[in-house]
Amino acid sequence: MSTWIIDGTKISNEWRLELKARVRKLKQRGITPGLAIILVGDNPASRSFVRLKEKACSDVGIHSELHHFESADQDQLVGLIDQLNTAGHIHGILVQLPLPGHIDPASVVGAVSPTKDIDGLHPLSIGRLATAQETFHPCAPLAITKMLQHEKIPIAGRHVVIIGKSNLIGKPLGTMLVNRDATVTQCQSITEDLFSLTRQADILISAAGKAGFIGREAIKPGALVIDAGMNRGEDGGVCGDVDADDVMGRAGLLTPVPGGIGPLTITMLLHNTVKSATGMF
């Protein structure tokens, strides 16, 4: 069996061309989509992610502004968010996670106006998602569902197993797939007899955060394997949850890391910002 590798970078570049055209039309109407990014501290990974997001905004013509605090308390962040909530030139507000331990992320994210919650993490956004109403979808789950749609992979009626329960990926992704009539089994890395469940999956999605966690014995022959993990390997390089070499020839489809879901996730951030600027929500 051959394994079909999905080129997330190629798909992302196609979508960004479409977004660039949409932004150009908005600017002709006097609207420049604007994204505010809030970063606290000097976490190297966070700074790297922020640079990628700033560059992506620049590439499609979205205005971005970075509010970087070397240190800050919760009241400072909420005060800034209150200002950005009423700023006419800002359509999306992104709080780069994780935040330092002395700050409650739920309180900070909850301060973002639901109309500018382009990360889809506000309680109202989560509630609307759970009830299948129009809302902003979290970017990584949206990237996964859009990728499946782009590749014309049917979801309805199929058994999807998700490893991971985070608010960023696992929980909202499960809801989004249930809303599209999939049969979803939600797991985590400590689920008892986990691999007996993963071997039943038509579509296996791993966001466990464990390098090389998924090998060929964990998947059903021909399964579609989506690697949503982002880890550092022993050599310091970026790798996913899936041992790609091991599953080759057994998986029917595989998203690589890097170059799979990652670039699509950033593109969905741009998508949600443009969506906000057009007044669609």
CATH number for the domain spanning 103: value is: 3.40.50.10860
Does residue 144 sit in the same domain as residue 256?
yes
- Give pLDDT tens digits for 162-191: 999 999 999 999 999 999 999 999 998 789
Average pLDDT for residues 46-73, to the nearest whole number?
96
Percent of the chain residues topping a pLDDT of 90: 93
- Tell me, yes or no, if the pTM score tops 0.75: yes
Nearest alpha carbon to residue 142 among 22, 264, 254, 54: 264
- Catalytic hit among 96, 116, 186, 275: 96
Catalytic residue among 25, 28, 42, 53: 53
The CATH number assigned to the domain holding 257 equals 3.40.50.720
* Together in a domain, 109 and 143: no
Does any domain span residue 254? yes
Strand order in the sheet with 63-69: 63-69, 34-40, 92-95
Find the domain containing 91 and state its range. 31-113
Asked if the model's pLDDT at residue 223 lies above 70, the reply is yes
Residue 277's nearest CA partner among 57, 108, 70 is 57
| Average confidence (pLDDT) over 9-23 | 97
Written in H, E and C, the secondary structure of 83-131 is HHHCCCCCCEEEECCCCCCCCCHHHHHHHCCHHHCCCCCCHHHHHHHHC
Q: Looking at the 3D structure of the chain, how many domains does it have?
A: 2
Same domain membership, residue 243 and residue 155: yes
Q: Are residues 187 and 75 part of one domain?
A: no
Residue 116 has which token pair? 């500018």
Does residue 75 sit within a domain? yes
Beta bridge partners of 242: 214
Q: Is residue 279 part of a domain?
A: no
* In the predicted structure, residue 280 carries a pLDDT above the cut 80: no
Report yes or no on 185 lying in a domain.
Answer: yes
Question: Is 96 among the catalytic positions?
Answer: yes
Catalytic annotation, pick one of 27, 59, 82, 119: 119
54 in any annotated domain: yes
> Taking a C-beta distance cutoff of 8 angstroms, is the pair 71, 103 a contact?
no
Domain-embedded: residue 68: yes
Domain finish residue from 96, 113, 130: 113
53 labelled catalytic: yes
Q: Are residue 109 and residue 148 in the same domain, yes or no?
A: no
Residues 159 and 217 in one domain: yes
